[in-house]
Amino acid sequence: MTKPILPGEVAAAVVNPAAYGAWKPLHEQLAWARANMPLAVAENPNHDPFWLVTRHADVMAISRDPQRFANGIRPTVLTDRAGEALARAATPGGDGHLVRSLVQMDAPDHMKYRLLTQSWFMPRNLKTIEDRIRQIARDTVEHMLEAGGSCDFARDVAAHYPLRVIMDILGVPPEDEPRMLMLTQQLFGPTDPELNRSREAITSSEQAIAMLHYVIADFEAYFGALTADRRANPREDIATVIANAMVDGEQIPDRELAGYYMIIATAGHDTTSASTAGAIMELARNPTLFQRFRDAESDKAGLIEEAIRWTTPVQHFMRSARQDVEMGGQTIREGDWLMLNYVSANRDEGVFVDPFMFDPDRAKNPQIAFGFGAHVCLGQHLARLEMRILMEELLPRLTSLELAGEPARVESVFVGGLKRLPIRFEAA
């Protein structure tokens, strides 16, 4: 059976950072794919072909089947052909993963490594650090209010709060946070000229990989020193857990060690910043919602879940088929590459009523922004907790909130979100 091939403009859009920056017409193109070709191949001149998975049910089915859909075989994030070849040339055994973290692992390694920190991220343990998070939220709000009646919420507030929380948990001192923020933005946004290391448009994968090498080397140097310190002076932080962890009776090898720190240090802040800023944007646009949620007694859970669906900060992950699989009337062949498009799955009209409406009162909100299955986001409870605490601390302190200019989104195919959110507010 021949594979269905997506129209060229749809295939081009899902690999184009600017399309994710603009959101339009990307959303229309994804809606078209869901309705007409929910499981079809995107062919682009610079990328190996891949299946674009746009429906919620298919993203779930693939995510819950790691035996047949692996993370470790091909890049887990969309990479063009030249970039993959360079990465393969630059990595041990040619596996092509510049970083080997939980995300790049499959069974049996994946669970062994995940279990080292999983209990840290469970609600029961998070309760023990809730007061620390609330203090960081209070400091963040004070800082915002002191600065006067307007700010760029994305840059001045949302970018810092989740970073401070994750650095606190990890054990990185506050003076090193600016460096971590810069490195993360360079790691996730190498294609956005406003955020990347060279501050120039990246036109080739050689440039992108060269830049990433520097970024990764900086991370490795930093966490190498942290490991040495925590082996000598253990503390109550995640760095101590990672530095002293044993897998199969041995200390974690250097590459996996660096990968572990990097995934914890990076996965948790740009993402949570994006969903937090997205929530504030919708409240600034809708005075009725703002009034409702600034009431200290209001339940924020629906707002938070909807902001996560609405923003879908992680826009895709890739999987590779380990064997032939029949799915949705198609045959996916062993070795085929697939893009789980969470942006699309979270606007699936078959699952969400009025998916293009921001509605904190959805009776059901099975948003899939945290993924699903074996790799489901380790930090999902932390992300929700951070958002709730910030909303609890911030909203009752404001009497008005409105947009003060045009918001702008990051140009990136992987982690997206607002890079600018100008707001005006009055403090209570």
Dist CA 122 CA 82 (whole Å): 40
Dist CA 265 CA 249 (whole Å): 25
Helix (H, G, I), strand (E, B) or coil at 139: helix
> Is residue 133 a contact point for ligand HEM (CB under 6 A)?
no
- Residue 249, sorted as left (phi over 0), alpha (psi -120 to 50) or beta, turns out to be left
Dist CA 317 CA 132 (whole Å): 32
> Is residue 416 a contact point for ligand HEM (CB under 6 A)?
no
Nearer to ligand HEM, 103 or 151 (CB): 103
As measured in angstroms, the least distance from the Cβ of 259 to ligand HEM is: 10
Which stretch, 20-28, 151-159, 241-249, 308-316, contacts ligand HEM (CB under 6 A)?
308-316
Nearer to ligand HEM, 73 or 382 (CB): 382
> Is residue 268 a contact point for ligand HEM (CB under 6 A)?
yes
Nearer to ligand HEM, 61 or 211 (CB): 61
> Is residue 154 a contact point for ligand HEM (CB under 6 A)?
no
Interface with ligand HEM (CB under 6 A), residue total 28
As measured in angstroms, the least distance from the Cβ of 18 to ligand HEM is: 21
Dist CA 147 CA 426 (whole Å): 12
Nearer to ligand HEM, 223 or 370 (CB): 370
| Residue facing ligand HEM at closest CB distance | 379
Nearer to ligand HEM, 73 or 378 (CB): 378
> Is residue 50 a contact point for ligand HEM (CB under 6 A)?
no
> Is residue 314 a contact point for ligand HEM (CB under 6 A)?
yes
Dist CA 222 CA 180 (whole Å): 9
Q: Do 298 and 391 contact (CB within 8 A), yes or no?
A: no
> Is residue 382 a contact point for ligand HEM (CB under 6 A)?
yes
Q: Do 261 and 169 contact (CB within 8 A), yes or no?
A: no
Dist CA 296 CA 413 (whole Å): 37
Dist CA 165 CA 156 (whole Å): 16
Kindly state the tokens that stand for 237: 């932080």
Q: Which of residues 64-123 bind ligand HEM (CB under 6 A)?
A: 102-103, 114
Strands 325-327 and 330-332: antiparallel
Query: Taking the mean position of all CA atoms in its chain, how far away is CA 11?
Result: 22
User: Can you tell me which of 63, 196, 330, 344 binds ligand HEM, judged by CB under 6 A?
Assistant: 63
As measured in angstroms, the least distance from the Cβ of 167 to ligand HEM is: 11
Which stretch, 35-43, 223-231, 284-292, 313-321, contacts ligand HEM (CB under 6 A)?
313-321
User: Can you tell me which of 8, 149, 178, 373 binds ligand HEM, judged by CB under 6 A?
Assistant: 373
Dist CA 305 CA 365 (whole Å): 7
User: Can you tell me which of 216, 263, 304, 391 binds ligand HEM, judged by CB under 6 A?
Assistant: 263
Nearer to ligand HEM, 211 or 238 (CB): 238
Nearer to ligand HEM, 19 or 382 (CB): 382
Dist CA 101 CA 75 (whole Å): 12
Query: x/- site string to ligand HEM, residues 281 to 300, per CB under 6 A?
Result: --------------------
Could you tell me where the beta strands, DSSP code E, fall in 46-179?
Answer: 47-53, 69-70, 150-152
> Is residue 313 a contact point for ligand HEM (CB under 6 A)?
yes
Sign of the Cα pseudo-torsion (411, 414, 420, 423, in order): positive
Give the alpha-carbon dihedral of 287, 292, 293, 299, to 10 degrees: -150
Nearer to ligand HEM, 33 or 374 (CB): 374
> Is residue 5 a contact point for ligand HEM (CB under 6 A)?
no
Neighbours of 237 (CB within 10 A): 18
Dist CA 105 CA 111 (whole Å): 9
State the residues that interact with ligand HEM by CB under 6 A.
63, 102-103, 114, 166, 263-264, 267-268, 271-272, 275, 308, 313-314, 317, 369-373, 375-379, 382-383
